[in-house]
Amino acid sequence: MSTEKIKGTQSFSRSMIVLQLIADQVEPPGVTELLALSSLTRPTLYRILSSLEAEGVVIKTSGKRYRLGARLIGLAHGALTQVDVRGIARSVLTALRDETGETVHLAIRNRDEMVYVDKIDSREVVRMASTIGTRVPFYSSSAGKAYLAALPNIEAKKIMDRLCLAPLTQHTSTDLQYVSEKVEAARVLGFSFDEQENEDGIVCYGAPIRDGSGLPVASVSISIPMFRLNADKTHYSRPLVSRCAEISKMLGFI
């Protein structure tokens, strides 16, 4: 019985690895690419792909490449609705949007990056064009740096050491020491600051949300177009930190 359980667990893990590899590629990969990216044998990979295709979570194109299937949309929607922090934070994030007048994002960690799981749009005509599900790097985003700053130093360093720092804009730093200093500054200040490092023309402020253990479970960012940026940083940082503390308290953080 235990042997069957182990085999089942291994099969599921391999399927998840293949699914994640397909999701991570810019263009739909073929079998050759997936073999190179994974440690799977060709028969095992074919078996997994056939299983995923039968379940509708991947689709094989006419060019014999694989992309994510529509069934994942329903699964993702269900997952989002079950993220407790999203439901708890909604009204508070809306209040933060009203206080600052700018777009507010809620992000959670997905491996070595952050993913937007909620967005409260600014009421202004010009606002940040982002969507729920957008992935942002730890090193270039205020949401990412805020999350790292809330982690124990050792854990944050482990993550940063694994990162591949690539320039996303002309303002993105690929110097790990510089990024580490920004994270440390965010740890001291209680919020992070991203000046067009993740997207041209957009400045962001970020702060963490903690649970009862004191560890971060999410982070919140405020995104402001450069032309509308208030010179007084406290216009964003004070309500941001206050609202994140409010949500953290709801999650048991004292």
Count of CA atoms in the C-beta half-sphere (13 A) of 189: 20
Find the range with the poorest average confidence among 67-76, 139-148, 152-161, 191-200: 67-76
pLDDT of 83: 56
pLDDT exceeds cutoff 70 at 36: yes
113 and 30 belong to one structural domain: no
- Burial label, 60 (beta-carbon count in 10 A; 0-12, 13-18, 19+): middle
CATH of the domain at 146: 3.30.450.40
Over residues 166-192, the mean pLDDT reads 95
Dihedral pair phi/psi, residue 213, rounded to 5°: -80, -10
Last residue of a domain, one of 41, 74, 107: 74
pLDDT tens digits, one per residue of 8-23: 677 888 999 999 999 8
Of 210 and 7, which is predicted with more confidence? 210
Over residues 197-210, the mean pLDDT reads 95
80 pLDDT band (50/70/90 cuts)? low
Quick one: what percent of the chain has pLDDT higher than 70?
Answer: 92
Q: Range of 35's domain? A: 2-74
Let me know: does 58 contact 69? Beta carbons within 8 Å. yes
67 and 122 belong to one structural domain: no
137 Cβ contact partners less than 8 Å away, ≥ 6 residues apart: 113, 114, 144, 163, 168, 198
224 and 180 belong to one structural domain: yes
> What contacts 24+ positions apart, CB below 8 Å, involve 227-236?
227/126, 227/201, 228/102, 228/124, 228/126, 229/203, 233/193, 233/205, 235/100, 236/100, 236/102, 236/205
**CA separation for the pair 215, 240 (Å, rounded):** 18
**CA separation for the pair 243, 49 (Å, rounded):** 45
pTM equals 0.70
50 and 162 belong to one structural domain: no
pLDDT tens digits, one per residue of 120-152: 999 987 666 677 888 999 999 999 999 999 999
206 and 170 belong to one structural domain: yes
Let me know: does 92 contact 220? Beta carbons within 8 Å. no
142 and 230 belong to one structural domain: yes
The count of other CB atoms within 10 Å of the CB of residue 125 is 5
pLDDT exceeds cutoff 80 at 77: no
What is the number of domains present in the chain? 2
pLDDT of 114: 94
Q: Please, what is the average pLDDT of the chain? A: 90
pLDDT of 7: 55
